[in-house]
Structure 1
Amino acid sequence: MTSSDTAPGRGTAVVIGGGLAGVTAAWALRGFAERIVVVERDRYPEEPVFRAGVPQGRHAHLVLEAGHRALEELMPGSRQELAAAGAHRVSVSGDLKWLGAAGWLIEYPARMAFLSCTRPVLDKVVLDRVRTEPSIEFLEGTDVVGLLGSARAVTGVKVRERGPDRAEVRELPAELVIDAAGRSTSVPKWLAELGGRPAPEERVDAGVAYASRLFHRPSGVDLGCQAVYLQTKAPDAPRMGVLLPVEGDRWIVSLAGMRGAEPGPGEKGFDDHLARLRDPLLQEALREAEPAGEVRGFQPGPGVRRHYERGCPDGLVVVGDAASTFNPVYGQGVTVAMFCAQALRRTATRHGDIGHATAREARRGVAAASKVAWMMSGAEDVRFPATTGGPSGAMTRLQQRYLDKVLAGTTRDPVVTAAFHEVLSLVEPPSRLFHPTVLAAVLRG
């Protein structure tokens, strides 16, 4: 029995989680579901402020060029709205100083850029657009506590309103359930309770930990750029730092270290880590900067890629961090979440509904959306000796050796640097690095 007696395949869709992955998934389904319900454990603030339900939100975020293009396709005008909300346009070359593993990347006339702002601003711009759609409703302050259905098909969710009185559990039937609950998703556990087999997983864990802080930008300070990225260098330099301009004439600075080189707690740990980066540029930039908040730490946990396309009950699609989580130092998570929303939109458009065929094809689309990002981040993570899991073998070592030559090329040849930026921004596949013009430039080195 469907959740709609009048339009089979076009009934109710329930989205678990109201973060970026969830609200863009809900937006993607508009016009194909009669009713779309986003169940969010928090209550959204009126203004763009950090909230407890997004612990990674206090750290530097990037929407890569491919992510901006995907968001613009889903929500035309989103770039202008982000700029109006205070986001800074940062060209990937010229505005950004990037210390790669082989040295400083050479500048060139780049066409690509990203918009830099805090995560709450990004969230609010997207949420405000989603709230304009009448078919989308929000259950705020509500937990999903289980799934309805069986090992063969998910038919809805069990929900309970949060609060001291522990409200009773009620059922919310649906033809399609989207899991966008992020890294902490309980869907694997709930599927096991229904008698289902776990989705095959890949794991890689570099043990990364973060420490971030907002600063007021000092008047009169000129870094010669808008943003700075001091990359790690395996195996002997496992620390990184990034400075990005954000709204309110502030900088957000995030420091990170792989296992064994994590930032220590508090202000002392932040300052000690800052002093141990590969280059003193960030430390010098912050010498006269006044803090605009406390130091905040974050340990995201391992990278996990769940292959729901290989085994999953009908009526369920898993997106965003609930499907694939990456080491955040590569800035891929938000962009892959946008890719997932695109996959949902395209498959719903192709089938014209939210039925089981749509869900099956969407799961394949989500898997394809994360494949390249997973391959690139995992291959870099395993360069660090304390990393557990991840790819190995002769092919991985061959890829790493060629990438080392590419990284060396980025310090002297703009053709190589442009191709590297296109691949890292997920605009082009890794095969772009083997284009004859790029290959010739790499081999000349």
Structure 2
Amino acid sequence: MSPAGRAVGDRGTAVVIGGGPAGCLAAWALRGVARRVVVVERDRYPDGTDFRAGVPQGRHGHLLLEAGHRAIEELMPGALAELLAAGAQLVAIPSGLRVLTSVGHLAPYDSEVTILSCSRPLLDRTVLDRVRSEPSIEILEGAEVVGLLGSRQGVTGVQLRERGREGAPVTDLAAELVVDAAGRGTRSGRWLIGLGLPSTPVERIDAGVAYASRFYHRPPGREDQLALDVQTRAPEHGRFAVLLPVEGNRWLVSLGGMRGFEPSIQPQEFEKQLGELRDPAIAEAIAGAEPVGPARGFVPGPSVWRRHERTDPPGFLALGDAACTFNPVYAQGISVAALGARALREAARRHGALGPATVREARRAICAVTRHPWVIAANEDVRFAGTIGGERGPVVRLQHRYLDRVLARATTDATVSAAFHRVVSMVEPPSALFRPSVLGPVLFGR
């Protein structure tokens, strides 16, 4: 354990559990307010831009929606240019992303809305390098948090030990603020109960999603075909696939489905299943393309929203997947984490400290930026017969009917198409779909 593992005075010290994008963005958000930020990461980072074992979804598609890459650029000016210079692709919607929705292709229009597409290692490395450049942030690699310090009245630090060394001593690291950015495997709920606090309320929905992904070299002359997205239409076990441009002149192809469909990682079967989709465009695009390594599968498990704002004590905050784990089909997770980190920065700067006022404001703001993406994803998940959990009452059915009308109208109406894309890109709230310019055509247009 480095000297940072010794207990210190907590004034102005923040500990961030987890050194992925959410944790690094949270650490960066606290610079200038926290005197010292310590990021505790269980893994050892790889040399260069490579996959790491502690990110099981790292070999699959990762997108930053418009709101997400805007938030990262606001937090880390110049990060977007660094990603693009390293080969990330900024794909315009809808001109650069050909999406086949349940009702067809949506109407084209001139748009400023984009998605940022790159491999997870490139995103991780870009954010990590920026954090490493900040003297007030230190990173403990190969260390794990085994508990929280404090009581029902508040969290006052963490207990640490070196990971992988039998009998390693546990040391205390005092902190004014502990940020849980440990991802979907977070254990903070158990630790908070250990301090005498009630269980964190959760909302859970499980569509049984599973997917497989494989990289391909992009053939010469195919640079004009940027991205493809084939969405599901059947409610039984919806199948979907995406083809995304990533750095290294490669495509990342992901095939998946909800409960009842298990994508194959066997090469021939993987490509056969792509060809069996309702649109064979992706299978046709990769025909003859050279694979880069094998296909790899992943089952992310249920979506879980941990309602920390209802029970958590002072001194503790959760963001990213540690706060809300989304169905990755909707590409919301990293963007919501970036918005949460931006909210943390705004609260910390407004109050100029790490104390209870900052935590309360940041917690409310993280809940607010999570709510709309959660509702959108959960409402779509319950369309599938195999989904466990989620609301299915008359209000949700009414929302389904209205959204179906929005999509149908968006196939021919550019204004409605633009509004829909801005909502799913988290640039505008779902209420934008009820503005007169959208409501009128949806309800009364042919």
Instruction: Give 3-state SS (helix, strand or coil) of 2:368's partner.
Output: helix
- Partner residue, 1:44: 45
The separation in 2 between residues aligned to 1:209 and 1:151, in whole angstroms, is 39
Amino acid at match of 2:31: R
State the Cα deviation string for residues 167-225 of structure 1 (Å, max 9, x = none). 21111111100000000001011111222101111111000011000000112346x63
The separation in 1 between residues aligned to 2:198 and 2:56, in whole angstroms, is 30
The separation in 1 between residues aligned to 2:34 and 2:221, in whole angstroms, is 53
- Partner residue, 1:396: 396
Q: CA deviation at 1:268?
A: 4.5
- Partner residue, 1:310: 310
Instruction: Give 3-state SS (helix, strand or coil) of 1:58's partner.
Output: coil
Instruction: Give 3-state SS (helix, strand or coil) of 2:160's partner.
Output: strand
- Partner residue, 1:324: 324
- Partner residue, 2:356: 356
The separation in 2 between residues aligned to 1:266 and 1:29, in whole angstroms, is 45
Instruction: Give 3-state SS (helix, strand or coil) of 1:127's partner.
Output: helix
The separation in 2 between residues aligned to 1:289 and 1:166, in whole angstroms, is 50
State the Cα deviation string for residues 243-295 of structure 1 (Å, max 9, x = none). 01111110000111100012134334423431331211111111111100111
Q: TM-score, normalized by length of structure 2?
A: 0.96
Contact 2:204–2:389 (8 Å) recurs in 1: yes
State the Cα deviation string for residues 30-77 of structure 1 (Å, max 9, x = none). 111111000001111221111111111111111000001111111111
State the Cα deviation string for residues 151-180 of structure 1 (Å, max 9, x = none). 221111111112344421111111100000
Instruction: Give 3-state SS (helix, strand or coil) of 1:80's partner.
Output: helix
Q: CA deviation at 1:411?
A: 1.4
Amino acid at match of 2:439: L
Instruction: Could you tell me which runs of 5 or more consecutive residues in structure 1 were left unpaired when the two chains were aligned.
Output: none
Instruction: Could you tell me which runs of 5 or more consecutive residues in structure 2 were left unpaired when the two chains were aligned.
Output: 1-6
State the Cα deviation string for residues 93-146 of structure 1 (Å, max 9, x = none). 111100001011222111111221111111111111111111100000111111
- Partner residue, 1:428: 428
- Partner residue, 1:141: 142
Instruction: Give 3-state SS (helix, strand or coil) of 1:264's partner.
Output: coil
The separation in 1 between residues aligned to 2:273 and 2:353, in whole angstroms, is 51
Pairwise mapping of residues 336-351 of structure 1 onto structure 2 (< 5 A)?
336-351=336-351
The separation in 1 between residues aligned to 2:340 and 2:146, in whole angstroms, is 24
Number of residues of Structure 1 aligned to a counterpart in Structure 2 = 439
The separation in 2 between residues aligned to 1:411 and 1:17, in whole angstroms, is 42
Which moved further from structure 2: 144-153 or 179-188? 144-153
- Partner residue, 1:373: 373
Contact 2:33–2:348 (8 Å) recurs in 1: yes
Contact 2:161–2:171 (8 Å) recurs in 1: yes
The separation in 2 between residues aligned to 1:237 and 1:401, in whole angstroms, is 20
Q: TM-score, normalized by length of structure 1?
A: 0.96
Contact 1:95–1:227 (8 Å) recurs in 2: yes
The separation in 2 between residues aligned to 1:103 and 1:36, in whole angstroms, is 49
What is the alpha-carbon root mean square deviation over aligned residues? Answer: 1.5
Pairwise mapping of residues 162-311 of structure 1 onto structure 2 (< 5 A)?
162-221=163-222, 225-236=225-236, 238-311=238-311
Q: CA deviation at 1:338?
A: 0.5
Instruction: Give 3-state SS (helix, strand or coil) of 1:292's partner.
Output: strand
Instruction: Give 3-state SS (helix, strand or coil) of 1:157's partner.
Output: strand
